[in-house]
Each structure stands twice: as C-alpha cells, then as structure tokens.
Amino acid sequence: MTQIITGGCLCGACRYETATAPLNIRVCHCHVCQKATGAAFYARVQMPLDALAIIGPVGWYHSSPGLRRGFCPNCGTTLFSERASGNAIGLAMGSLDQPDRFQPTEHIWVSSKQAWLELADDLPQHQEGP
C-alpha cells in the first residue's frame, strides 16, 4: 500500500499531496539546479504530475527548455521542478513533511558539482543526466 506523501512551503500558504509511489529519487548537481535552489545541489522526489494535488498559490519560472520550477510566491520556498511533456514533477526534498522517508538512488550532473563536495555514499554517479 502506497502512503500519502505531503509537503509544502515555509509559510504554509502552499501545500501538496499525492498517494502515488515515486518514479525516482535523485540528487542533481547541475548549475541550473544550484542557481534555482540557492544550494549546492537539488535533492528531489519525482512523481507523476497528474497524480499530484497542489493547494495554494504557486509561482512558476521557466528555467530551461521543457522545465519550469515552482515556488511559493509568499515565502520563496523552492517546491517543484516540472516537466509537463513527461508527466513528471520533482518535489523538492526539503519541502516534504517527512523527507527522511526517501533516500536518493543516484547523483546526476556530477560534472557540475561543487569542488568541495565529496560524494561518499556509494550511489551511482552520472557525469550528466542518466
């Protein structure tokens, strides 16, 4: 039985939930994800877009061809990375109510990772996308 996955922004204005199992769980080290999140990498749980319910305001920014990013327009929390053409949406792991339920299975775009970051978790590492 799949458990319900919930999350939301820092101020609570935007919430989301789904009862679908994740498609994949990855950590992306590309420069676009670093800029978009303001962090050294973007850990996310990818879900089918059509299985996610979003409640509240979301601001969207088209960061690259075919990808838009969702954030709370009130507090600025990074929430989503959406590829509508692939019916997929990434849930920012830090926005999940229970982020410890999920463990990444691989690192992508390690060719762009921060030089000071050592990846010692034995997960597969892809120089670019998988």
CATH code for position 33:
2.170.150.70
Burial class (CB in 10 A: 0-12, 13-18, 19+), 42: buried
Per-residue pLDDT of the chain (130 residues; tens, 9 = 90+): 568 999 999 999 999 999 999 999 999 999 999 999 999 999 999 999 999 999 999 999 999 999 999 999 999 999 999 998 999 999 999 999 999 999 999 999 999 999 999 999 999 999 998 8
Has residue 105 been placed in a domain?
yes
Has residue 125 been placed in a domain?
no
Has residue 117 been placed in a domain?
no
- Residue indicated by tokens 């679908």: 20
Has residue 28 been placed in a domain?
yes
CA–CA distance, 62 with 20 (Å, rounded to integer) = 25
Q: Are strands 88-92 and 106-108 parallel, antiparallel or unpaired?
A: unpaired
Give the pair of three-digit tokens for residue 1. 């039985």
Domain count along the chain: 1
Q: Which domain holds residue 33?
A: 5-112
CA–CA distance, 37 with 17 (Å, rounded to integer) = 21
> How many CA atoms does the CB half-sphere of 102 hold within 13 Å?
29
Q: What is the DSSP letter of 32?
A: H
Has residue 119 been placed in a domain?
no
Instruction: Provide the pLDDT for residue 50.
Output: 95
- Residue indicated by tokens 């050592």: 118
Instruction: Provide the pLDDT for residue 2.
Output: 67
Instruction: Provide the pLDDT for residue 3.
Output: 85
Has residue 129 been placed in a domain?
no
Has residue 62 been placed in a domain?
yes
Has residue 107 been placed in a domain?
yes
Which amino acid type is present at position 30? C
